[in-house]
Amino acid sequence: MGVAINLVGDILLAGKIEASISREGIDSIFRETASIFRLGDINIGNLECPLSGRGEPGPGREFIYRAPEDYARGLKRAGFNIMCLANNHIMDFGPVALLDTISSLEKNGILHVGAGRDLGQASKPLVFEGKDLKIAFLAFTYSSPAGKKSPGTCRLDPGFMKKKIKEASRSSDLVIAMIHHGVEYVDYPNRFLISLFRGAAEAGAALVVGHHPHVCQGIENYRGSLIAYSLGNFISSYADEEERRESYAKTALAYFTNNPPGSGDMRTTESFVLRCELDKSGVQYYELIPVKSNPMHQSVLMDAHESAVFLKRISMISKGLYDGGILDEMDELWEKCRIHAMSKTDLAHVLKRFYKIRPSHLSYIIPYLKSRLT
């Protein structure tokens, strides 16, 4: 028998969800899904906030999150043994909060990947060995990249990502890559993101999973690898109507389309546990276990009818990955988002993204120039 792995998306333990945790305890948040994780050799989620009582908010951050360090004990009791730290919120309170998070996880026996004291640590593969199988985990994101001597995340540069995956595949039986990127609240990735995820598979990753859009996206088998573009929100405060209204009002869809999501849009409360069986040849079996957030912010299993509706929607979205019209819309939205994001920054910040000059840097310069012209 191979290795059983359960993967989930964003785990946000800060903000309005803290009130529920204060009343009921952190164990209540995971109570109904604990039985799923007891069946996994590896249980991994994306920790969408630092665990710390220290640090200062980063400049220019509109949404910032931080949760108490002792919440790591709750994650451990829930069954998690690996946390992905490569995301756009792990540095919300700076390097000291990141280092507190790492320390807290390690004290509670939870491994981590995707961020560290420097680029070497942030980009170092996390290796799991068990059942005669050696699996290397890597995690990448676009935000707060670590430097050679400064804390941060593992930077998401296509060439760098492929290099790290190829290196890891030479010393491991399997590589699992996690990518935190995308446009929030949309059901589909654009062509750039599809190329990025498929590039990870081509470089040697047997399983590529994504998060950041806060909604679930499609799944595909690509050249023998399994790709899940977004696992959605596993633990979040989106079950709160006010939270949805505030967040949706500031989404790119509200800026650039005539049909932004309304507070009645519950996709941000829906997610799934991606359960896989792995052996040395890759993913032998997988299933989606649909879950949702209830008003108490607990992650609970969907009932039979809800599961059927949800899985049908994911199937339809997956087919849309090959629809040129849909992808044209996603490409257009992506470009608008990039220009809008660049309009909030300055040239010095753009240039900090450059580690050495190469052609791919045009993808940063062009949106910046367009933002200034528009």
Residue 144: Cβ within 10 Å count: 24
Query: What does the pLDDT look like over 316-343, one tens digit per residue?
Result: 999 999 999 999 999 999 998 887 766 6
Query: 16 vs 12, 78, 213, CA distance in Å?
Result: 10, 20, 20
- pLDDT digit string, tens, across residues 260-317: 889 899 999 999 999 999 999 999 999 999 999 999 999 999 999 999 999 999 999 9
Instruction: Report residue 196 as tokens.
Output: 């990025």
| pLDDT for 80 | 98
Tell me how far apart the alpha carbons of residues 47 and 355 are, in angstroms, rounded to a whole number.
27
pLDDT digits (tens, 9 = 90+) for 152-190: 999 999 999 999 999 999 999 999 999 999 999 999 999
pTM strictly above 0.75: yes
In CATH, 3-323 is 1.10.3720.10: no
What's the confidence (pLDDT) of residue 251?
80
- Mean pLDDT along residues 107-115: 98
List Cα–Cα distances, 83 to 80, 191, 286, 326, in angstroms: 7, 28, 20, 33
Q: Domains of the chain: which residue ranges? A: 3-323
- Gap between the terminal Cα atoms of the chain: 58
The torsion of the CA quartet 232, 238, 241, 247, rounded to 10 degrees, works out to -80
For 144, the 3-state DSSP assignment is coil
Q: How confident is the model at residue 369 (pLDDT cuts 50, 70, 90)?
A: low
